[in-house]
Amino acid sequence: MARDFYFSQKQLLNVIELQTQIIKLGTDVHAIMKLLVEDIQNLTNATASALTLLEDDYIVCHAVSKNVQSYIGKRFHLNDGLAGYAIKNKKLIYSMDYQGDDRVNINIRKTMSFESIVVLPLFFQEQAVGVYLLFSNQKDAFSKQDLQLLNLLSDTISAALYQSIKLEKQIKLASMDYLTGLNTRAILSEYFEKNNHQHAGLLMIDMNDLKFINDHYGHRAGDLALIEVGKRLKRQIRKDDLIVRLGGDEFAVFLANIHTADAIQLLINRFIQVCSEAFYYKNQAINISISVGYALYPKDGKQLTTLMEVADQHMYNNKRHRKHSKNLIQE
């Protein structure tokens, strides 16, 4: 059955303009959400608006209009309000008298002073993305045109959010090591290019004896040992430094604004110390340690690959020296 839409020419032009702006923003999810909470509110009789994303059984406010900034980050369970009804029935819900709406948890109603609310569920190809909320300080504030306008825009909003969020997640996965949660080499290269430090340092770090841990305690123990080393290193770096996992047992640390070998050696000593404390797995103490090599920018090179080669060579020299010392002790 065809719907009857009652839009003025100005409203239709505003809708087209909004859709054009969304297209221009491409996959910038944060810019898209900001645009939506500002522009859609202006197209209706709303006092405020909020854009929420679905996270398990909750909707979480990710973007809000200026007059409800305190809502940012707030989580609402789907069973406590109208969002659950809207998502379950896959249709817009309009509460003309929100404060008297028994479908909403009374404690939720007390936290909001609004008199009427529109809840627009956002779906992309049958998958729930989130909920768009419009608020008003007046009862029955939204017109039939407002509701039709939101239904008209729902597919555009849902698709833009779904695609931009999906791409953001893919980029994050590509830039984050799946095991340790640290950044990857791609981020190191990007960071190096963007940070115009006159002096900097690069550390190449190997976790020692990972194969021994894997063989004697199992690969799960080896994975947890790598995670632990990553955590310990990350806790020691400074604000402008960057730690990444290169793969296997290798890590790298970019040290910003560091001038001398003595200064870098102090940091290395601290890293070695914190990573030499035993790691516990199933109530067993497992000895862990690291080998470290460094290079200074621009003294040892001006390209990242050159610095990595110099630091890598120093690291392997230190690793060989450690093994030689260990053998002498055993003899």
Confidence of residue 327 (pLDDT cuts 50, 70, 90): very low
Asked whether 203 and 268 are in contact (CB, 8 A), the reply is: yes
pLDDT at 323: 63
Res 57 pLDDT > 50:
yes
Asked whether 121 and 87 are in contact (CB, 8 A), the reply is: yes
Cα–Cα distance measured from residue 225 to residue 59, given in angstroms and rounded to the nearest whole number: 36
Residue 330 burial by Cβ neighbours in a 10 Å radius (0-12, 13-18, 19+): exposed
What are the two backbone dihedrals, phi and then psi, of residue 294, each rounded to the nearest 5 degrees? Answer: -135, 165
Res 235 pLDDT > 70:
yes
Cα–Cα distance measured from residue 240 to residue 32, given in angstroms and rounded to the nearest whole number: 29
pLDDT at 197: 66
SS3 sequence of the chain: CCCCCCCCHHHHHHHHHHHHHHHHHCCCHHHHHHHHHHHHHHHCCCCEEEEEEEECCEEEEEEECHHHHHHCCCEEEHHHCHHHHHHHHCCCEEECCHHHCCCCCHHHHHCCCCCEEEEEEEEECCEEEEEEEEEECCCCCCCHHHHHHHHHHHHHHHHHHHHHHHHHHHHHHHHECCCCCCECHHHHHHHHHHCCCCCEEEEEEEECCHHHHHHHHCHHHHHHHHHHHHHHHHHHCCCCCEEEEEECCEEEEEEECCCCHHHHHHHHHHHHHHCCCCEEECCEEECCCEEEEEEEECCCCCCHHHHHHHHHHHHHHHHHHHHHHHHHHHC
Res 328 pLDDT > 90:
no
Cα–Cα distance measured from residue 251 to residue 206, given in angstroms and rounded to the nearest whole number: 6
pTM of the model: 0.58
Cα–Cα distance measured from residue 291 to residue 295, given in angstroms and rounded to the nearest whole number: 14
Confidence of residue 329 (pLDDT cuts 50, 70, 90): very low
Res 238 pLDDT > 60:
yes
In 3D, which of 21, 73, 58, 51 has the Cα closest to residue 162? 51
Mean pLDDT of 191-200: 82
pLDDT digits (tens, 9 = 90+) for 256-268: 999 999 999 999 9
Average pLDDT, the chain: 89
Range among 109-113, 120-124, 184-188 with highest mean pLDDT value:
120-124
pLDDT at 2: 45
pLDDT at 325: 54
β-bridge partners, 285: 280
Q: Which domains does the chain possess?
A: 9-174 (3.30.450.40), 185-330 (3.30.70.270)
pLDDT at 169: 78
Confidence of residue 278 (pLDDT cuts 50, 70, 90): very high
